[in-house]
Homo-oligomer: A and B are copies of this chain.
Amino acid sequence: MVSQYPPNLRIRLPAFILILEAALILIFGVFVSYDHSQNLTRDYPVFQHVNLMVILGFAFFLAFLKRYGFSGTGFSLLLAALGVQWAVVVEGFLFHFSAGKIKISLQSILTAIMSIITVLISAGAMLGKVNLMQLIWMALVEVTVFAVNRWVAVNILQIQSHVSVMHAHLFGAYFGLMVSWMLHHSSLSQKAEKERSRPVSNMFAVLGTLFLWIFWPSFNSVLIKEEEKKWTAIYNTYFVMATSVIAAFSFSAATNKNGKLSMAHIQNATLAGGVALSFSASIIQQPWIAMALGLAAGMISVLGMACLQKHLDPALKIHDTCGVHYTFGLPSLLGGIIHIIVILTNHSNNLSVFGYSALIEVGALSLSLVISLFSGFITGLILTCKLWKAPPVTKYFDDQAYWEFPHLAVGF
């Protein structure tokens, strides 16, 4: 099956990407240099944990569709590679710009990688329905808006920097849902054959999920500076991941009429705990609280997928291929609420001061929510433009629209 617009793709896509990259190299050449003032031996292995999560974990997490494995992994890699460079620049101008230079360090690259998960989460909501140019454009906008959002949260609302990065889950999910809503097509209300998974593509997705699951303690702790809080975040995240698994298996069996497990539930709900804990990983002092939170997050995730995704999403005309609303969106909202409760109870003797601090967190969370929805709306509006040559619905969820197959092998 030959693509309907070969000459365009052949010229437009490479030209678009290469001009972008040339611009990036120019900006790096003029503004960016290395900062050597740090001793980062402690952080490099953990940096690679986060790298493994974002590059390998997400790439395979998004490889669950039966005929979309190449795009799931390949497009993730491209978005991450391009997005990290762009994020280093945008965050550099906003956070590390002095004397006409951006000094970058392991910390800057790390924050850039972590910002990229907004893009990968949003890409999960749109998986299989947009082309590479649309994804790249979305990545550029989303990274920029998320960096501005972080700048407001850190510099105006005085949120801690490492907490502001954790808004990525919330931001990515609602941004992606909004874009997905704008791009909704009536035919998506019925699940297409190609929108399903296969056992083998699910196994690759399990691999991605396990990488995310295993290294989540690193993700939740890496930006925290104080040693003791770092370790608390690691321990809490370990236990929250463990109880998410428990919730995923229990509620997956409970919501199926035959008591059978759904691999989609397991893949998504096992991660919900890590998302929900992200804001408060370092300030929860008792393991049982983290464990209860993991159980609740896993439950919300499975129940969301089992009930809301089937009934609410079509009613709202939202099509969320990967279920990011239930892996990242709702658990993150739950985490925000818990974060505020934890702040209040940790300082129950001095409510006036910490009531204010809690209020600020509410503000930051609402800000991220509003900005993600609004910027997602605008981005979606732009992506509906004919200029992008979006794939026709018949080519949704199909690698053959973008990848050359020697022998037209059908699926795996």
Interface residue ranges, A against B (CB under 8 Å): 2-3, 6-11, 13-14, 17-18, 21, 24-26, 28-29, 32-34, 36, 38-42, 44-46, 48-49, 51-52, 55-56, 59-60, 63, 69-70, 73-74, 77-78, 81-82, 84-85, 104, 106, 109, 132, 196-200, 202-204, 206-207, 210-211, 213-215, 218, 227-228, 231-232, 234-235, 238-239, 241-243, 245-247, 249-251, 253-254, 256-263, 266, 270, 285-288, 291-292, 295, 399, 402-407, 409, 411-412
Contact = CB atoms under 8 A, between A and B. Distances in A.
B231 A40 contact: yes
Contact of A28 (B55, B63, B196, B287): B287
Given A29-B288, A250-B18, A404-B260, A202 B48 contact: no
A210 B81 CA distance: 12
A308 to B, nearest CB: 18
Of all A-B residue pairs in the complex, the 7 with the closest CB atoms, nearest first, are A9-B259, A10-B259, A81-B245, A29-B288, A45-B45, A14-B250, A28-B288
Given A48-B218, A196-B406, 9 more contacts: A3-B260, A9-B253, A10-B256, A10-B257, A11-B254, A14-B251, A77-B210, A198-B409, A260-B402
A77 B24 CA distance: 40
Contact of A291 (B25, B109, B227, B409): B25
B41 A412 contact: no
Contacts of A39: 227
B211 A25 contact: no
A213 B56 CA distance: 10
Contact of A402 (B73, B81, B261, B291): B261
B287 A55 contact: no
Identical chains bound together, number:
3
A262 B231 contact: no
A253 B13 contact: yes
A277 to B, nearest CB: 15
A53 to B, nearest CB: 10
A17 B250 contact: yes
Given A49-B48, A55-B213, A60-B207, A17 B77 contact: no
A32 B256 contact: no
Contacts of A215: 48
Given A245-B77, A259-B9, A36 B199 contact: no
Contacts of A207: 56, 60, 207
A73 B241 contact: no
18 contacts: A11-B254, A18-B246, A25-B291, A25-B292, A28-B291, A39-B227, A51-B214, A56-B214, A73-B210, A77-B245, A82-B245, A85-B291, A106-B231, A198-B409, A256-B404, A260-B402, A261-B403, A263-B403
A55 B251 CA distance: 21
A292 to B, nearest CB: 6
Contacts of A241: 81
A404 B203 contact: no
A192 B249 CA distance: 28
A241 B202 CA distance: 28
Contact of A200 (B41, B106, B200): B200
